[in-house]
Structure 1
């Protein structure tokens, strides 16, 4: 199956699920982090337990959604950050909306992808959390974001390089498999809700647990 047809399948199945569902569910938890601990990150990224469904609900379509999402994630695994198309970046963002996630306010040196010294404790906490047996088998998206200062092309490139920098550190320092880390950059296109686009808080790295093992194990 081509990447474009895989993306189409994920969107169609997800749209059908949302239209036919009679329950509500909570999207992945997003926690702003400053002096974050590994336990806080672990709790935010922990797979969520499936909701209990009423007897009157139509047969669940989550297995089909998970299968389509899995095929899409496999199609971008081991891809370079720069090689992702705009459509693929948006597909990642769509899937991530329902997954456990956390925002880390990781600072970098000015005009650089080098992690600042003051943010190293947060990156170390992230590495410790992602190395936990509780998250074994999960695939994580590491998404870079910038504020709106500067041009679109410049910020897109900077967000990609910063996501790559985090991935490289996690691989080298904690031995996390590169195939389990998918990096993506969004530049200034996705500011945090309720903030002005130029707010410095928009300069962040979001980590998403794309494999919800609790749901998968229940099917």
Structure 2
């Protein structure tokens, strides 16, 4: 039997493991583009209703009031201020939201973004700066591998999420209030079969409000 290449195996693992935090697009750190991120995080556009002109389309359905209220309560909050129940509520809400699972890795036992992952973070910064996504609230969720205790990993995952937020705010001028950072420690491994693998030390980005925004005219 012909052996699969390491690249093919890695791609399969990355795609299948997106189930750990809801199904979403999954891309390796070295090949993701701004356009791919933009498409993954943009709400699906609904087709025109037959017989209606573009100018007479029905209005989009209103957002879930309870969900919208919850989102408003976590905007601008610090990562450490989120309770466990709030973190789990975020995880439940984002299940059906536009998301992308980027392999943004970090140095071992560190919140420093690895050199090989910088292109992904830069592509993310450019995508979030796009007018199509302006006004949405994004979850930036930090994760660790399974090494170490629960409290240590929770703290590390929060620092990693904050690290991404700081980079996006400092380098791309993203509004910090639009970025909700949350840490999940080792509770939601990307690859449970290899709990110590580097692939588990990553960040996932989700479009929390799941809405289409329009640029000012």
TM-score (ref. length: structure 1) = 0.76
Q: Which residue of 1 aligns with 2:167?
A: 169
Aligned length: 182
Q: Give the whole-Å Cα distance in 2 for the aligned partners of 1:194 and 1:179.
A: 32
Q: Which residue of 2 aligns with 1:127?
A: 125
Instruction: Tell me if 1:140 matches 2:138.
Output: yes
Of 21, 24, 29, the match for 2:24 = 29
Q: Give the whole-Å Cα distance in 2 for the aligned partners of 1:109 and 1:126.
A: 19
**Structure 1 gaps, min length 5:** 1-26, 53-61
**Structure 2 gaps, min length 5:** 1-21, 49-59
**Mapping of residues 137-216 of structure 1, within 5 Å:** 137-192=135-190, 195-214=193-212
Of 21, 41, 44, the match for 1:45 = 41
Q: Residues 191 and 199 of structure 2 are in contact (CA less than 8 Å); yes or no, is this contact kept in structure 1? A: no
User: How far 1:63 moved relative to its partner?
Assistant: 5.5
Distance 1:51 1:71, change over 3 A: farther
Q: Residues 99 and 212 of structure 1 are in contact (CA less than 8 Å); yes or no, is this contact kept in structure 2? A: yes
The secondary structure found in structure 2 opposite 1:143 is strand
Distance 1:87 1:64, change over 3 A: farther
Q: Give the whole-Å Cα distance in 2 for the aligned partners of 1:198 and 1:46.
A: 32
The secondary structure found in structure 2 opposite 1:48 is coil
The secondary structure found in structure 2 opposite 1:112 is coil
Q: Residues 28 and 100 of structure 1 are in contact (CA less than 8 Å); yes or no, is this contact kept in structure 2? A: no
More moved, 116-125 vs 162-171: 116-125
The secondary structure found in structure 2 opposite 1:97 is helix
User: How far 1:65 moved relative to its partner?
Assistant: 5.9
Task: State the Cα RMSD in Å.
Answer: 2.5
| Structure 1 outlier segments of 4+, above 3 Å | 49-52, 62-65, 193-196
**Mapping of residues 19-98 of structure 1, within 5 Å:** 29-35=24-30, 36-49=32-45, 66-98=64-96
TM-score (ref. length: structure 2) = 0.76
What do residues 90-135 of structure 1 show as CA deviations (whole Å, max 9, x unaligned)? Answer: 0000011000111111122332212122211111000000101111
Q: Give the whole-Å Cα distance in 1 for the aligned partners of 2:197 and 2:144.
A: 9
